[in-house]
Structure 1
C-alpha cells in the first residue's frame, strides 16, 4: 500500500462522518454493520487512491460520486419529503434556515436577504433577534468583514435595516450610518423607508436616534440633515393623527434645534402645534428691521412671510386674541403690500382708469376672509364694551 494514503483515508473518514450526519439522519445500523460499511468505504478509497495519479483530485471526485450512491443518496420520495420539510422550515423559521447554511459553509448575502425578507413578512407578532443573528452569521461566514459593512450590500441593506429597527436596534444602526458616511440624505432615506414599512411612530423614533447623536457633535449641520425630516414627520402626524401625542410634543419641543431658522421654527409650531407665541415674537422682531433689510428681502421669502402672517393672524382670531391678530395684520399689510395685492391710492386710480381692474397678489384672496373675521371680532368686542358700560 502507498504509505502516503493512510492519513488521507483517515481524514476522508472523518469528513464522511461529518457530511453524512448533516445531510442524512444516522443509518439504522448495528455497530458491526456500521463498521462493515466504513471498511467498505475505506477499501473503495484505497483502491481509488492506489490507481490514481493525483490522490487529492481522485479523493474529491470519489467522495462526490460516493455520496450520490445508496445509502447516502435519498430515494425520490425521501428527497421530496426533505424538500417539503425545508420549505416548511423556511416559511416558519427562516433565520434558523440561514444559520444552518452558516454551519454548512453555504451562507451567502443573497440567502440572507431572502431569509430576512421572509422574517420581516412574519409581522410584528414574530419580532425576535433575527436581524442580529443574520448579521452575526454573515460575519462568521465571511460574507462581510464587520457588521456595519452590510450597508454596502444593496440587496441586503433594506431588509436587514427593517429587521434591526423592529428589534429596537435603531440606535446601533444610526451609529454605524453616521460613522460610515455623513452625506446629506442618508438619514432622510432611512426614516422615510421605516415610515413606509413600519409606520410613523417607528420612523419618529429613528429620527430621534439621529437627533440624540447629532445634537451635541453635529449641531451646526443638523438643520440641513434633519430639518426636512422633522417637517415631514410633523406634516404626516397632523395629516394622519397616528403619532402618539408625547412624540409629537417632543418633535415640536426640539424644532428650535433642527429648524433652518427662526421663521421656520415659528411656522412649525404655528401650523402643527397651534402655538402663536414664536410667530408673534418673530414678527415683532422683523418689524423693527431697517428699510434696507426689507428692500433686500428676496421675493420668495416675502411670499413666505406674508403667508405666515396670514396664518398667524387667523390663528390668533381663532384663539380670540384680537389684539395680536390686528397687530400682525397691520404689519403684514404694511410690509407686504404687493404680495397681498394692496396698492397705493394713486396706483389704484391709474389702474382703474386703464381697465377698471385691481391686480391681486398670490395670497390676496385671504384678505377678504381677514376683513370678515376682523369685522365680526371687532363687533363682538364693541358689544362687550357697551354691555360693560351699561
Structure 2
C-alpha cells in the first residue's frame, strides 16, 4: 500500500471525526470532553495531512519531525478531554509537561541532526506512555457511561500504546513495514475515537431521556404535593376501567374536599398551609394501593380512583379509611390542626361511563356532605344520595 493511499485514508477519517466532535461540542450543555477531543483528532488530522504534503520533498527528517510534533500534541489534548469528560480531580499540567519534553526532544534531535531511529525512539516512548495513561483512565472509569463505549476506547488506547512501541522495533529491522504500521495506527485510532464519540452521544441520549422524564413528571405530577395531577388521572382512567371489565369488579371515584382548611392559611399563613396540603396528600396516598390513582385536582381538592373492588361495602370501607386518616390531628408550624373531609363517591358503571360523568356525580355527593355538617362521605345514587 503506497504512502499516498495510507495517509489519504488516515487524514480523511480524522477529518470526519474532527467535524463530528466539533458538532457535538457545540450542542448546548454537552460534556466539555467533546471539545478537547475535537482539538486532539484535529491535531492527528493535520499531522497526517502535513506528512502527505511533505512527501514530495523527500526529506525524511523533516517529514517525521513535523508529523511527530503534531502527534505528540494530540496526546495531552486527548487526556485533558478525558479528565474533563470524566470530571476527574486530576491536574492536567503533568500531561502537558511530558508532551513538552517530547517536543523538546524532537527540537534537539532536529538541531543536532540525530539519526532517525534515535530521534523517533524518544518521542515514541513518551507517546506510548501518554496513550497508556489514557487507557488506564478509561479502564478505571468506564462505568461512568452506560454501555461499553469507554471500555472499548480503553482497549483501543492500550492497543495503540503497544503499537507505538512495537512499530519502533519492527521498522528498525523491516523498514517496509512503515506503511502497514500507519494503516494499523489509523484503524486503532478509528476504534478509539469512534468509541469516545459513542460515549459523548450516550451521555447526550441519557440527558435527553432524563429531561423527557422530568418533563413528564412536570406534566403529570402536582408540583406541591407530588401526587398525580388531573391530566395524569384522565390519562390513566381508561387503564383503570380495564380492571373493571373483569367480572364483578367495581371502579370507585372518591372526590375529597378538605374541611376547615381556609382557617389554616388565615391563622398560620400560606407556607404552613402548603405543608398541611403535603401532609394530607401523603395521608391519602398511604390509604391507597398500587393499583389505585391518587390525584390533586384543585387547591384543597383531591380525587382517588379506587380499582379492583368486588363489593360495594369495600368502597364504603375505603371511604371510611380515607376520612379517618384526614381527621387525625396534624401538628405543623407550631400549630395543631384538626381538619376534616367531605367525600363524595361515584361508581363505574352504575353512575357513568366516563371520568367526566363520574367526577360530576362524586362532586354532587361531596356537596351533599358539605351542606349537611361536613366530615363524612356519601355515595351518589342518581336522583337520591345514599349517605353513609
The two structures have a TM-score, normalised by structure 1, of: 0.28
Higher fraction of strand: 2
Q: Which structure exhibits the higher relative contact order, with contacts defined as CA atoms closer than 8 Å and separated by 6 or more residues?
A: 2
Higher fraction of helix: 1
The two structures have a TM-score, normalised by structure 2, of: 0.28
